[in-house]
Structure formats: structure tokens, C-alpha cells
Structure 1
Amino acid sequence: MNTKINLLVIDDDDINIFIIKKIVEKTGFEAKMVAKTNGSMAIEYLQELIANNEVLPHLILIDINMPVLNGWEFLDAYEKLGIQTEIDMYMLSSSVYENDIEKAKTYKTVKGFISKPLSIERLIELFEGKNTQAI
């Protein structure tokens, strides 16, 4: 039995969230997925978890282009939270701009850039990376 993985998806596209949820179900991993439709809602969610001393996400997938607080603004706000727990974060975007890929590399919290759509194979790789560590 795999350790339960907490996944936070930050994306304003309901169809994308639905697809990711279906992919999560097909991975065979026990995973709890929470979706927030903008960076501001995601920051509030993380603050609630911290305040209630609850388990933080093990993996965060972040879209770049969103209303209220976009992916980059979320990362800036996240860094101000001062979270010491290591969380694997990946930009998940339909952007094909090289400058977005390069910008993602400037954030120490971002482990990589994944082009949409997310594949089941790629998500399994991400989950397996988290599963090798004590959670």
C-alpha cells in the first residue's frame, strides 16, 4: 500500500481540474487532491493548513495564467509564508514560451515545468518521487 499523497492543483480551468482528477484516480496511488482556481485561494488554503497544524501538500501543480493571483504571484506569496517543509512544485502550463520555462528555473521551490496536458505517466513519476520519502 502506498503512502497517501496530498496533491494541490492550482488552475482556473475546470476541465483541466477534472482531467487531472481522473488521471489521479488512474495512477493507482492513494491520493487526496484539492483544487484551487487561483493563487490567492491556494495561499489561503495553505495558511489554513498551517494554522490548524494539518498536513501540507506533498505536491503542488501550478498553472501560470490565472485571475486574481497568477502562478508567479502565487510563488512570490508562497515564499513569504516561510514554510520549512519541502513541497515539490511544478509549473503546469500550456505556455510554450521559453521565458516562462526559464522563469520557472529562477524559483528554488519549483522543481520543473510540465507542458499541458498532464499525462498519467508523468503524474505517476511525480507520485513515485514523493513515495520514496517518508511522508
Structure 2
Amino acid sequence: MTDLKINLLIIDDDDINIFIIRKIVEKTGFKVNMTSKSNGQLAADYLAEIADEQDLFPHLILIDINMPVLNGWEFLEAYDRLGIAHKVDMYMLSSSVYENDIEKAKTYKTIKGFISKPLSIERLSELLKGIRL
């Protein structure tokens, strides 16, 4: 366990999934500030608003694919347009079982991997351990 706080942003429109992730975060033993946004547009707006605030900017972003307004892919395009220079680990977190979604995730330089739902305590702990503060 570390004393440093990790900023985690969840972009997902499923309240139950967000609740589950919040419970998983608590079980990891890491100190995490978790924020959630229900679609890609809200997330892009939030990141643009805090772009100059290093202490608030996420270290890790988990992105669902299928959401209203801006889906996960559209969020990635909007994020690239923001031109934010912060280093952030981004993963697609989806219930999609389509191979083309997994392959598409590999084409984005900002995406470090594809995680199938549900997120496990072990997988989240592994991601959090990899964060460099």
C-alpha cells in the first residue's frame, strides 16, 4: 500500500458498474480519488477543465465503449483534440466480446490495453501498482 493518492477516472454510463468499481477500489488497499463521468462528452469537458491542475488530473482512466452522447472511441478522439500533455494510463473497460473492438483499441496510442468486464480486484490492483506518481 502506498501513501500517495492515485486519481482514477471511470467513464461509464452504468451506475451499477461504477458502484462495483468503487467497492473494488476500496478493497485494493490503495488510496484512490475516484471520479466518474457517464459519457465521453462529460469526461472530455471535465478533463479540459482540470488540464492545468496536476493534483486533480487522472493517473488512470477506464473507458467504456458503449455510452450515449460520446462513446468510448469518440471520447478518445475528443481527448486527442484537447492536446493535453499529462501522462495518463488509459484502458478500454468493456463488456464487448467483439474481436474488432479489442483490435481497434490497439490502434490508439493512448490506450494501454483492453479489459473485459467485470473488473477484478486483482486486475485493478495490478493497474494501480503500475502507476508512477
- Any idea what the Cα deviations from partners look like across 1:11-69, whole Å, max 9, x if unmatched? 00000000000000000000000000000000111011025565310000000000000
Alignment of 1:1-135 (within 5 A): 1-50=2-51, 54-130=55-131, 133=132, 135=133
Tell me, in whole angstroms, the C-alpha distance in 1 between the residues paired with 2:23 and 2:12. Answer: 15
Instruction: Name the aligned partner's letter for residue 78 of structure 1.
Output: Y
CA-based RMSD: 1.1
Q: Matched residue of 2:13: which SS?
A: coil
Q: 1:80: Cα distance to partner?
A: 0.7
Give secondary structure in 2 for the equivalent of 1:90.
strand
Unpaired runs of 5+ residues, structure 1, are none
Quote how far apart the aligned CAs of 1:3 are: 1.5
Structure 2 segments unaligned to the other structure (5+ residues): none
Moved over 2 A (4+): 51-55
Scaled by the length of structure 2, what TM-score is found? 0.95
The aligned amino acid for 1:102 is: E
| Alpha-carbon separation, structure 1, partners of 2:101 and 2:53 | 34
Q: SS of the counterpart of 1:55?
A: coil
**Percent identical residues:** 71
Alpha-carbon distance between aligned partners in 2 of 1:53 and 1:23, rounded to the nearest angstrom: 25
Change (3 A) 1:49 1:32: same
Aligned length: 132
SS for the counterpart of 2:85 is: coil
TM-score by length of 1: 0.94
